[in-house]
Amino acid sequence: MGFLSPWFLAGLTALGLPVYLHLLRQHKTTPKQFASLMFFERRTQSSIKHRRLKYILLMILRLLLLFFVVMAFAAPFVRNMGPIGAAGNRLLIVAIDNSYSMRIGDRFTRAKREAAQVLAGKGGREQAQVLAIGATVHAMTQPVTDPGELRAAVEAIQQSDSRSSYGEMARALRSIEQSARMPLEVHLFSDMQKSALPPAFTDLRLGDSTKLVVHAMADRMLPNYAVESVSAPRSLFDPKKARIQVTVASYHAPAAKRNVTLAVNGKSVGTKPLDVPENGRATVEFIGLDANYGFNKAEARIDASDEMKGDDTLFFSVERSDPRSVLFLHEGRQTKGLLYYKAALESATEGAFVVENLPAEQGGNIALAKYGFAVLSDVGPTLPASLEQTLKTWVQGGGSLLVAAGPASAGRTRVPVFDEAIRESRYASRAGERFLVAGAMDPTHPVMKATGRWENVKFYQAVRVDQGSSRVVARLADETPLLLEKRVGEGRVLVFTSTFDNISNDFPLHPSFVPFIEQSARYLVGTEVRPSSYNVDSYVELRAEKGAGTVEVLDPKGKRALDLKQSTTARSFLLQETGFYDIGRANGRHELVAVNADRKESDLELAPQDTVTMWQGTGKATPTAGSTEERDQQTANLWWYAMLGATLAALAESWLANRYLDAVPTDA
- Give the per-residue pLDDT at 57: 78
Which pLDDT band, with edges at 50, 70 and 90, does 560 fall under? very high
For the segment 152-162, what is each residue's pLDDT rounded down to a tens digit?
A: 999 999 999 99
- Give the per-residue pLDDT at 665: 57
- Residue 599, CB half-sphere, CA atoms under 13 Å: how many? 19
- Give the per-residue pLDDT at 628: 40
Q: How many CB atoms lie within 10 A of CB 5?
A: 12
- Give the per-residue pLDDT at 50: 47
Judged on CB neighbours under 10 Å (0-12, 13-18, 19+), 203 is middle
For the segment 247-258, what is each residue's pLDDT rounded down to a tens digit?
A: 999 999 999 999
- Give the per-residue pLDDT at 630: 42
- Give the per-residue pLDDT at 428: 62
Answer yes or no: are the C-beta atoms of 92 and 115 closer than 8 Å: no
Which pLDDT band, with edges at 50, 70 and 90, does 633 fall under? very low
- Give the per-residue pLDDT at 622: 38
- Give the integer Cα–Cα distance in Å for 99 and 10: 60
Report the pLDDT averaged over residues 441-453: 86
3-class SS of residue 648 = helix
Answer yes or no: are the C-beta atoms of 595 and 561 closer than 8 Å: no
Which pLDDT band, with edges at 50, 70 and 90, does 177 fall under? very high
More confident residue, 74 or 528: 74
- Give the per-residue pLDDT at 74: 76
Distances 507 to 294, 357, 472, 510 between C-alpha atoms, Å: 36, 21, 19, 6
Distances 401 to 49, 391, 450, 491 between C-alpha atoms, Å: 111, 8, 21, 8
- Give the per-residue pLDDT at 227: 96
3-class SS of residue 446 = helix
Average of per-residue pLDDT values in the chain = 85
Identify the bridge partners of residue 606 per DSSP, sorted by sequence position: 193
- Give the integer Cα–Cα distance in Å for 580 and 593: 5
- Give the per-residue pLDDT at 240: 87
Q: What is the DSSP string of 162-205?
A: PPP-HHHHHHHHHHHHHHH-S-EEEEEEE--BGGGS-SSGGGGP
Gyration radius (Cα) of the chain, Å:
41
Which pLDDT band, with edges at 50, 70 and 90, does 267 fall under? very high
Percentage of the chain beyond pLDDT 90 is 50
CA angle 560, 562, 563 (to 5 degrees): 105
- Give the integer Cα–Cα distance in Å for 383 and 43: 135
- Give the per-residue pLDDT at 602: 94
More confident residue, 307 or 333: 307
Which of 358, 367, 365 lies closest to 335 in space, CA to CA?
358
Answer yes or no: are the C-beta atoms of 218 and 107 closer than 8 Å: yes
- Give the per-residue pLDDT at 654: 81
- Give the integer Cα–Cα distance in Å for 485 and 602: 40
Answer yes or no: are the C-beta atoms of 170 and 214 closer than 8 Å: no
Judged on CB neighbours under 10 Å (0-12, 13-18, 19+), 131 is buried
For the segment 412-426, what is each residue's pLDDT rounded down to a tens digit?
A: 889 999 999 998 877
Report the pLDDT averaged over residues 299-314: 91
More confident residue, 222 or 429: 222
- Give the per-residue pLDDT at 629: 42
Which pLDDT band, with edges at 50, 70 and 90, does 32 fall under? low
Report the pLDDT averaged over residues 165-184: 93
Query: Is the predicted pLDDT of residue 116 greater than 60, yes or no?
Result: yes
- Give the per-residue pLDDT at 170: 95
- Give the per-residue pLDDT at 27: 52
Query: Is the predicted pLDDT of residue 17 greater than 90, yes or no?
Result: no
Identify the bridge partners of residue 461 per DSSP, sorted by sequence position: 427
SS3 string, 206-227, reads CCCCEEEEEEECCCCCCCEEEE
- Give the per-residue pLDDT at 36: 63
Residue ranges of domains in the chain, CATH in brackets = 2-29+48-75+638-663 (no CATH), 91-221+606-628 (3.40.50.410), 324-525 (3.40.50.880), 534-596 (2.60.40.1930)
- Give the per-residue pLDDT at 90: 85
- Give the integer Cα–Cα distance in Å for 129 and 169: 14
- Give the per-residue pLDDT at 526: 76
Lowest mean pLDDT among 38-47, 141-150, 200-209: 38-47
Which pLDDT band, with edges at 50, 70 and 90, does 657 fall under? confident
For the segment 309-342, what is each residue's pLDDT rounded down to a tens digit?
A: 999 999 999 988 888 899 999 988 788 999 999 9
For the segment 474-530, what is each residue's pLDDT rounded down to a tens digit?
A: 999 888 999 999 999 888 999 999 999 999 999 999 999 999 999 999 889 876 556
For the segment 384-417, what is each residue's pLDDT rounded down to a tens digit?
A: 888 999 999 999 988 999 999 988 888 888 999 9
